[in-house]
Amino acid sequence: MDLIPAPSSAVRRPDGDFPLDAATTLTAPPALADAERWLRTTLSAATGLPFGPGRPGAGIELVQDEALAAEAYRITVRPGRALLAAGGPAGALWGAQTLRQLLGPDAYRRSPLRREGWVLPGADIEDAPRFGWRGALLDVARHFLPKSDVLRFVDLLAAHKLNVLHLHLTDDQGWRVEIKRYPGLTERGAWRERSMVGYRSGGRRDDRPHGGYYTQDDLREIVGYAAARGVTVVPEIDLPGHTQAAICAYPELGNTDVVDTAALGVWTDWGVSHNVLNASEETLRFFEGVLEEVLELFPSEFVHLGGDECPKEQWKDSAAAQARIRELGLANEDELQSHLIRHFDRWLAERGRRLIGWDEILEGGLAPGAAVSSWRGFGGGIAAAKAGHDVVMCPEQHVYFDHRQADGPDEPIPVGFVRTLEDVYRFEPVPAQLDGTEARHVIGTQANLWSEFTDSARDIDYRAFPRLVAFAEVAWSALPAEPAERDFAGFERRLATHLKALDALGVEYRPADGPLPWQRWPGVAGRPIEGPPPVR
């Protein structure tokens, strides 16, 4: 049946095929209304069949089975009936995605190519995810992505049973979320005068203003749209580094005793800016105000506060920062950063939320309730899990999808490590160094799509797919006895069918034999990293 991600169990029942026609019904209880609505809308568009409401025991029926876990589902297809039993609303949505897959690639179209010949194959399928956090980061700060493209990306995540969209909303190169009490963040911080084209070694600029931001209503729409498809949107507001866009809008946030912050603009380079927040009480109050509005928009348990790549030079040179270190009884600048993270860890906990940050938040002491996104390899995640903290594994050497997919000269803006489709499929998120108790702190895994070198949805398609398909199976499907036993040949066989579904969805993925002419960026310099990735 070529299902991706591979279910826990799938048995084909050739005598159980269920032909669909204009009389086929779709029924579900109110608790599974989102799955019923999505399935009816999606299948009606693709098949031209109405799927009107019917009676229990016939047609396509969704039911809730409390004996199943919340994201688990079971599908039974027999002549005249397809029963989808789910542990909860999320499980029903994932089961609905599987029902669409069973109908074949044409079921992914938005208008019917045919109105006859639709058949659900007879089958018994049982399924549940391996990890609770199955995520993808979308960086809309470096290159803004219009709302319609974000909604499309949500659909692509849901189609692959990925359930977390980590939305990177702020950085040195742009601020993308409307904050009503601080309008300058978007009036001045949401656009830059120009952008680098490729890596700085190429010396190229486009000399074209770039910008955009999401209104609060836009974000409410994105969050609601995602929730109706089983996807949680986790916002990232980066601090204390990666904040030049905010400092440009409100210069008092920077280290004014060492830098003329009033002269700063939104950064037009890629990389890590040395302009970081000061550590004053006033700055803490400012970002509390930002986060109060962010919490109103995003109901997610986790709020990502970055904490990565914060250069300490300005703090070392700043008399105000040094006085702050002495005032707080801290040992050094690392502990000053930890003070900021701990403050917001407490602040979020008081409001029923949890802080998550990149693994640099381990430096200077990890805040008590914080979770860690382990990006600089596995080391930070291992340390956090051994200390009893939850971890999302997203090591750059394995699941940074802005990194190149091959070593050939045609690969567009080649950066980072070469990570092939097979490399991603063989990625194992849980390090062998963790014992059983520690391993349970690995709550999931995430692929990251940074956008310095992707300025459109077409570029994102190329870098994400089909690697995100392989990653989805790693995140969802049960681990074999040994990770090395993952059946890549079997995955490739199933992928051949799935690529036709991506074609139907209009996804401009990277072909196996290399980029198409319009997917290349000839002459644009990247930042290749030579050699294989470090062994964990």
Per-residue pLDDT of the chain (536 residues), as tens digits, is 899 999 999 999 999 999 999 999 999 999 999 999 999 999 999 999 999 999 999 999 999 999 999 999 999 999 999 999 999 999 999 999 999 999 999 999 999 999 999 999 999 999 999 999 999 999 999 999 999 999 999 999 999 999 999 999 999 999 999 999 999 999 999 999 999 999 999 999 999 999 999 999 999 999 999 999 999 999 999 999 999 999 999 999 999 999 999 999 999 999 999 999 999 999 999 999 999 999 999 999 999 999 999 999 999 999 999 999 999 999 999 999 999 999 999 999 999 999 999 999 999 888 888 999 999 999 999 999 999 999 999 999 999 999 999 998 899 999 999 999 999 999 999 999 999 999 999 999 999 999 999 999 999 999 999 999 999 999 999 988 777 789 999 999 999 999 999 999 999 999 999 999 999 999 999 998 876 665 54
**What is the rounded distance in angstroms from the CA atom of residue 465 to the CA atom of residue 471?**
10
Of 456, 459, 469, nearest to 499 by C-alpha is: 469
Q: Do residues 136 and 166 lie in contact, with contact meaning Cβ atoms separated by under 8 Å?
A: yes
Around 512, how many Cα atoms within 13 Å sit in the side-chain half-sphere?
A: 5
Q: Which of 143, 160, 210, 242 is catalytic?
A: 242
**What is the rounded distance in angstroms from the CA atom of residue 464 to the CA atom of residue 466?**
6
Check if 242 is active-site.
yes
Tokens of 492: 């490739």
Other beta carbons within 10 angstroms of residue 20's beta carbon come to 19
Task: Identify residue 431 by its one-letter amino acid code.
Answer: P
The string of DSSP letters for 60-97 reads: EEEEE-TTS-TT-EEEEEETTEEEEEESSHHHHHHHHH
137-173: b (≥16 Cβ within 10 Å) or e = bbbbbbbbbebebbebbbbbbbbbbbbbbbbbbbbbb
**CB within 8 Å of 89: residues ≥ 6 apart:** 31, 32, 34, 35, 230
- For the chain, domains (ranges, CATH) are 9-127 (3.30.379.10), 133-528 (3.20.20.80)
Check if 171 is active-site.
yes
Contacts 24+ apart (CB under 8 A), 480-486: 483/426, 483/428, 484/426, 486/425, 486/426
Check if 334 is active-site.
no
Phi/psi-derived region of residue 80, left when phi > 0, alpha when psi is between -120 and 50, beta in every other case: left
| Predicted local confidence at residue 533, as pLDDT | 62
Q: Please give the helix or strand (H or E) that residue 314 lies within, else none.
A: helix 313-317
Task: Identify residue 17 by its one-letter amino acid code.
Answer: D
| Predicted local confidence at residue 259, as pLDDT | 98
Is-cis flag, bond preceding 235, omega within 30?
A: no
**What is the rounded distance in angstroms from the CA atom of residue 160 to the CA atom of residue 151?**
15
Q: Which of 171, 345, 411, 459 is catalytic?
A: 171
Tokens of 52: 């009107």
| Predicted local confidence at residue 536, as pLDDT | 45
Q: Which of 309, 410, 422, 455 is catalytic?
A: 309
**What is the rounded distance in angstroms from the CA atom of residue 267 to the CA atom of residue 245?**
7
